[in-house]
């Protein structure tokens, strides 16, 4: 390899590394954007002896209130009956609904919310209800409450879903900043290589 070829080979290797780093930065945002459940009340897989009055789900980031029925939280139990008594209420980082449980047994909490990045996420958890003997439970309903624009956001006066959370905006800023840094580094490397070749 000649002296002229060595700078070119070094420059090619640097460019490959920079392009790989750029690809990682660009793929990081969508991979981490979707919200995920971090806790619930009652907890997933738990057994409760006192009937809760609300079921609450907490996510790792803010979920969006759509106001169009996209926010769903249902609680079904023995016999396939619904035991949620009100439409879901979306808070800063979670969603909850009032409930009146029925007989002892396994209850399934199903939800669908709009993630901070605008994509819907859905899943379910189960818990067991084991009340003391003689406890009277609710009869439940076949379909649960009719929900839609009635779902509200607690602690906020806005009536429309926000297009993105603060976290998503920060991630976008970091990605853009990373791209700009890579461009500057490539420019500096090219300038140094060209200067050495002229020398």
Q: Is the pLDDT of residue 125 over 80?
A: yes
Q: Which band of pLDDT confidence, cut at 50, 70 and 90, is reported for residue 10?
A: low
- More confident of the two residues 35 and 47: 47
Mean pLDDT taken over the chain: 77
Among the listed residues 169, 192, 184, 171, the one whose alpha carbon sits nearest the alpha carbon of residue 18: 184
Start-to-end CA span in the chain (Å): 19
Sequence spans of domains, the chain: 5-31+166-198, 37-129
pLDDT number for residue 92: 78
User: How many Cβ atoms sit within 10 Å of the Cβ of residue 87?
Assistant: 21
Q: Is 130 exposed, middle or buried (0-12, 13-18, 19+ CB in 10 A)?
A: exposed
- For tokens 């016999």, the residue is 79
Q: Is the pLDDT of residue 90 over 70?
A: yes
Class of domain 37-129: mainly beta
Strand partners, 111: 73, 123
- 3-state class of 137 per DSSP? coil
| Average pLDDT rounded to a whole number, residues 150-176 | 47
For the chain, what percent of residues have pLDDT higher than 70?
61
- More confident of the two residues 92 and 2: 92
Q: Which of 24-28, 50-54, 128-132, 136-140 has the lowest mean pLDDT?
A: 24-28
| Average pLDDT rounded to a whole number, residues 89-101 | 91
CA dihedral 125, 83, 146, 67 (to 10 degrees): -40
pLDDT number for residue 199: 61
């Amino acid at each position: 390899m000649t002296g002229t070829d060595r700078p070119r080979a070094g420059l090619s290797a640097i460019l490959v590394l920079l392009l790989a780093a750029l690809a990682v930065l660009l793929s990081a945002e969508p991979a981490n954007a979707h919200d995920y459940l971090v806790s619930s009340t009652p907890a997933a897989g738990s057994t409760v002896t006192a009937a809760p009055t609300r079921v609450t789900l907490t996510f790792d980031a803010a979920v969006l209130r759509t106001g169009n029925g996209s926010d769903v939280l249902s609680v079904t139990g023995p016999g396939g009956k619904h035991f949620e008594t009100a439409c879901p209420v979306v808070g800063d980082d979670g969603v909850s609904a009032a409930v009146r449980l029925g007989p002892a047994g396994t209850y399934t909490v199903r939800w669908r919310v709009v993630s901070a990045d605008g994509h819907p996420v859905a899943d379910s958890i189960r818990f067991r209800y084991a009340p003391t003997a003689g406890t009277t439970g609710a009869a439940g309903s076949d379909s649960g409450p009719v929900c839609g624009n009635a779902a509200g956001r607690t602690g906020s006066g806005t009536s429309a879903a926000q297009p993105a959370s603060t976290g998503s905006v920060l991630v976008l800023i970091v990605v853009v900043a990373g791209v700009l840094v890579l461009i500057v580094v490539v420019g500096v490397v090219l300038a140094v290589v060209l200067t050495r070749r002229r020398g």
